[in-house]
Amino acid sequence: MTAITSLSLETKENTHSSNYLLFIGLVTTTAVLRYSNSAGPVSGPPPGGPTIQVDWSLNQARSIRTNLTASGPRPNPQGSYHYGLINTTKTIRLANSAGLVNGKQRYAVNSVSFLQPDTPLKLADYFQIGGVFRVGSISDYPNGGGIYLDTSVLGTDYRAFIEIVFENYEDIVQSWHLDGYSFFVVGMDGGLWSTASRNQYNLRDAIARCTVQVYPKSWTAIYVALDNVGMWNLRSEFWARQYLGQQLYVRVYTASTSLRDEFPIPKNALLCGRKFHDTFS
């Protein structure tokens, strides 16, 4: 329950050009909410405040699973996609970080703070415009280096089945979202991730999601089937961190031009950036 107090400030005439100091003290208190039919006193002291211990949250998150018995009469019942039996073709480890670049606050993934290009990446990729981005401009794993600016694009292959591990060395919860896909959250735990961490993965009834949390000083692992060609944004859901660089693009590439894999850009699409003055042929 939150009590909200309003505050008004009155000044004399002809003093509008001055600045004023305003101090508000933080005062907390504990009260008892009593209903007319309450039968007894409160049950013990109030619970303790938040701590840095995340075990309870980790256990709760891991307990949320797919109900494999709740299947309707359809050709592909719930749980019929056995993701745990598919071999992963690539492991990508992504670590978030914060720091200063040229004296300004920036956030990064694997030391790269995302720099917005002058042309949308999908347009640049589709029309093969050079100088906008480089595939592989971000490493597949944390390198521990200092933060620098770049348009980070991670190269992957169409129809690959990959493992992505989000590593959070910071003291706050992280939240990640991947456009264009749902993925299986197969594991999360405190401490550092290692190949031995796979022994505790849930390979049977994990939840399919597009957003996932990573607890402080912890890691979260997901499995993704790359069945959607394109240029997909993978970003922090904290908007300030996303705006200041904690994002990247995953390029899911195929040499095929089949309409089965990807439809062409509509002819009435609005072009911009380096394609602003061009038209479709």
Q: Could you tell me the pTM of the whole model?
A: 0.81
Residue 93's pLDDT is 99
pLDDT higher than 80, residue 225: yes
Residue 12's pLDDT is 65
Amino acid of residue 220: T
pLDDT higher than 60, residue 214: yes
Residue 206's pLDDT is 96
Q: Give the pLDDT confidence of 143-176 residue by residue, as tens digits.
A: 989 999 999 999 999 999 999 999 999 999 999 9
pLDDT higher than 70, residue 13: no
How large a percentage of the chain has pLDDT more than 70?
89
| Domains present along the chain, CATH in parentheses | 55-64+85-275 (2.60.40.420)
Q: Give the pLDDT confidence of 84-103 residue by residue, as tens digits.
A: 999 999 999 999 999 999 99
Q: What is the average pLDDT score of the chain?
A: 90
